[in-house]
Amino acid sequence: MKNLVLKSVLGVSALLLLASAASAGTLDDVKKKGFLQCGVNTGLAGFASPNDKGEWSGFDVDYCRAVAAAIFGDATKVKFTPLSAKDRLPALQSGEID
């Protein structure tokens, strides 16, 4: 039983370490690029939509701007990529969005 608990703790620790390293790499990449590339869902009212001037608004947009402000101290350092639900994960995995 002790052996199982020890292996479980070591396994969880290893996963957390790997996740932390992956996140640090992504943050470093975003900082190096100079802006945050956000994938937004335009299919749900209130989440993301551009107006007639191309200015984005909505919950997803506000969240991305808050993250950009936390990273860069500037909420405008964000670019938006409209994506459907099925396209979001592949875009994230390929690095098209952050």
Q: Structural domain tally of the chain?
A: 2
pLDDT for 24:
66
Whole-number Å distance between alpha carbons of 7 and 42:
44
pLDDT digits (tens, 9 = 90+) for 4-35: 433 343 343 443 344 444 456 889 999 999 99
State whether 41 and 17 are in the same domain: no
Whole-number Å distance between alpha carbons of 5 and 29:
36
State whether 23 and 40 are in the same domain: no
Task: Report the predicted TM-score, pTM, of the whole model to 2 decimal places.
Answer: 0.72
9: domain range?
1-28
State whether 24 and 56 are in the same domain: no
pLDDT for 45:
83
pLDDT digits (tens, 9 = 90+) for 24-83: 688 999 999 999 999 998 878 899 999 999 899 999 999 999 999 999 999 999 999 999
CB under 8 Å to 84, separation ≥6 — which residues? Answer: 41, 43
Host H or E run for residue 85? helix 85-94
